[in-house]
Structure 1
């Protein structure tokens, strides 16, 4: 009995690992992941990102004779002071001599943009009653958001300097006023019986929890999509080629189904392991490691309890969906009809994924996420989000697990009945009446 199951598992694994399509697909996806992780760095190397953006300014003659604080020359001087204080200056301002008229100045600046000397230029319109002048940044870019936001931040600092200069405050008072405030966040358990994954977590530990939630959700979604399609297509292909008739003469249909599910699970784990190794190798490269250090992301901050729960929901979610894919694959005789047949199961998995990605990560305590964490088709996603980003009562966690296990037992039994019947039904897809009648004739 056990030998038959092990034979199906071994055959499924060896058949897939030896296939060129599997190897080529794995390599291509690994390359895409590598490119995606390093894409910002690659773009920065070719686009000159990291270098200061040169923008122009006309140093008007009349500004030099004015005594008020908010003159163009004084503002530009303070802007240069602001950017030079940065470790990597974002903007460098080049002054141009006054050509005498506004049109002549505009023409000179546009020519500098055309020559590539500067990326754009700023103009000041005098404010009324000594107020801060309005500033216009002009460039060829349709939406130069990065430069405009940087200028806006710098100009706000310049305005603050002007206000402080007229305030009569001492330098120590000015430094105290401008000193940043440090705010630390710590997770707590406010409800008795909660704290299922611990409390008192620092920002670094909370960040690592969020990263783990992202990884588990994506891995579960990929595992379901990849293995589900492979399970259904393998069964349909074997059925359409009549290999299934030979297979069930030596192995019972129940062993064949669960053996194939387990074999595909091992295949998916192999693929995911390759992808995880590729991600870790790329993330530890110097240009990426420096970015991670800024967010205080360390593997030592992973919560082992959260990791165990995440693995539990990953496994239960996988086997729930894989049994349904196997059942659907067994009643389809042609691979051309498979896509339409598995669409409802695919949509269930997509719904759980989107609920968490677009609703749960921003608000893990919403009613939608709480309800979804008890719906077995969504709970592998939703409860992982609640565990990682909030603090659900432990009884709710294990109630969700219990509902999942009961659902897996029922869908496994039902899928086995459908599989036992469907693999030997050829021609058109059987109706529900025909399928129900045939299922009654067979015992698992």
Structure 2
């Protein structure tokens, strides 16, 4: 039986690697990953103008220079220019325009400058709520042809806030040390602790960097698991259905026991999926190592040493168990379908169950990993590969919870494997329409595993 098992594994792997569809799909996904990783750099290359400071105009009212108010047109414009010039990559650049003598003429001149491409928009200083300008801080109105020009307005708001603070402090008679202390940013560090006795040393005393790496690992495991279930599971089911519809299955079962054939295909597809994942990981690492991607990644402060080794082990355990549980179900369903056209509808329930677990954990569990739903899901074998990985990485499940979840998942895999083997043994020889439960039970009794 051992030789037959490895024969089936080898045949499945070779057959899949030689298939054009598999090779093309792998190359397309690898290309998509490469484009996605390098997309910011590509966008930057094709939109080099975005890196230049945006020119915005303002009216240079010389009479303001004679006024003693802290906040006037000239001083604000001058302070804004200094603020942007001091930045390593200034977002904005102020362009002065002389008054024409009338408000209508000023407006016309500024609009003409926009039409000529000299500026993207212009700002106006108006009387603010804190008092009549120039006695109080003015309201600033930005006018441009662009709809929802949030980049400019956010840059202006941040610069004006800094300028206002600096101007007020100049008249406050504070020492330089106190000014530096006032303007210094407050840094709050977070440390994840556990109050649960016997939590298995998972999630105890983690710094922000370690928490970020755990979050990243959980996210990657969820994505890899759903991809393995959706892609590899579909391949297992379609491979079995294709062999059954072409009558190749009748030849195979004369030399290899059906159970050996099923588990050989499951393990063979696991190796195929693993090889595909390694190709994708290699593509990701290769693209991340490119010169234009090194600096942005260095700024993220990614350190693999911060990954909790206990979490990594548990994540791999739940990943493998989750894969083999769903793989046996896909194999059983694939053996009941005689035509590949009917396969999509047949595997739909398994696919939906897998997606429910994924979406609940991805969009609810990552932000609230210790909710009642997540706790319940972590003990339901069809959902626990997703839910328990999230709780291990982002919450503090007790050790008994982890091992009960593993035990339930292991028992379910054994039961599902036994049941799937019986269904497979009976289903591969049943052709035509999908058998009813009654017909399947009779066949399972006739063909004992």
Normalising by structure 1, we get a TM-score of 0.95
Q: Write the deviation string for residues 97-150 of structure 1: whole angstroms up to 9, x where unpaired.
A: 223333333333333333333333222212224332222222333222222222
1:430 aligns with 2:435: yes
Structure 2 counterparts to residues 416-427 of structure 1, below 5 A: 416-427=421-432
Tell me the secondary structure at the aligned position of residue 417 of structure 2: helix
SS in 2 for 1:321: helix
Partner of 1:275: 280
Which whole-Å deviations, capped at 9, do the CAs of 1:255-313 have from their partners, x for residues lacking one?
11111111111111111101111111222223322222222112222222211111111
Equivalent residue, structure 2, for 1:58:
59
Task: Tell me the residue number matched to 2:346.
Answer: 341
- What does 1:124-273 align with in structure 2 at a 5 Å threshold? 124-127=125-128, 128-129=131-132, 130-197=135-202, 199-273=204-278
* Counterpart selection for 2:411 from 406, 409, 414: 406
- Structure 1 pair 152–251 and aligned structure 2 pair: CA distance change class (3 A): same
* Displacement after TM superposition at 1:242 (Å): 0.6
Change (3 A) 1:85 1:194: farther
Alignment of 1:238-387 (within 5 A): 238-387=243-392
State the alpha-carbon separation in 2 of the partners of residues 147 and 326 from structure 1: 57
Question: Quick check: 1:320–1:411 contact (8 Å CA) kept in 2?
Answer: yes
Residues 374 and 387 of structure 2 are in contact (CA less than 8 Å); yes or no, is this contact kept in structure 1? yes
1:69 to 2:70 alignment: yes
Structure 2: which 5+ residue stretches go unaligned? none
Aligned equivalent of 1:98: 99
Cα distance, 1:354 vs. partner? Answer: 0.8
Query: Deviation digits for residues 151-183 of structure 1, max 9, x if unmatched?
Result: 222222222224333433233222110111122
CA contact (8 A) 2:203 2:395 kept: no
Deviates most, 308-317 or 94-103: 94-103
SS of corresponding position for 2:115: helix
Q: Which moved more, 1:341-350 or 1:198-207?
A: 198-207
- Rounded Cα–Cα distance in structure 2 between residues aligned with 1:115 and 1:11: 70
Aligned to 2:46: 46
Q: Secondary structure at the match of 1:96?
A: strand
Structure 2: distance between partners of 1:260 and 1:191: 43
Q: Distance in 1 between matches of 2:148 and 2:419?
A: 56
For 1:240 and 1:140, how far apart are their aligned partners in 2?
Answer: 63
Moved more, 108-117 or 407-416: 108-117
**Which SS does the other structure have where 2:51 is aligned?**
coil
Deviations 1:7-60 (A, max 9, x none): 111011001111121111111111110110111121122222333222222223
Deviation at 1:237, TM superposition (A): 0.9
- Residue in structure 2 matched with residue 109 of structure 1 by the alignment: 110
Separation of aligned partners in 2, 1:184 and 1:141 = 40
Contact 2:338 2:434 (C-alpha < 8 Å) held by counterparts: yes
Deviates more, 1:289-298 or 1:231-240: 289-298
Maintained 8 Å contact 1:196/1:392: no
| Distance in structure 1 (CA, Å) of the matches to 2:441 and 2:256 | 23
Kindly report which structure 2 residues correspond to 1:80-99, keeping only aligned pairs within 5 A, or say none: 80-99=81-100
Shift of residue 195, structure 1, vs aligned partner: 4.5
CA RMSD of aligned residues (A): 1.7
> Aligned residues, how many?
444
Equivalent residue, structure 2, for 1:11: 11
Q: Deviation at 1:222?
A: 0.9
- Aligned partners of 2:203 and 2:393 also within 8 Å: no
Which whole-Å deviations, capped at 9, do the CAs of 1:298-335 have from their partners, x for residues lacking one?
22222222111111111011111111111111111111
* More deviation, 45-54/411-420: 45-54
Instruction: Give TM-score, length-normalised by structure 2.
Output: 0.94
| Corresponding residue of 1:23 | 23
Q: 2:15 and 2:428 mapped to 1: Cα distance?
A: 20
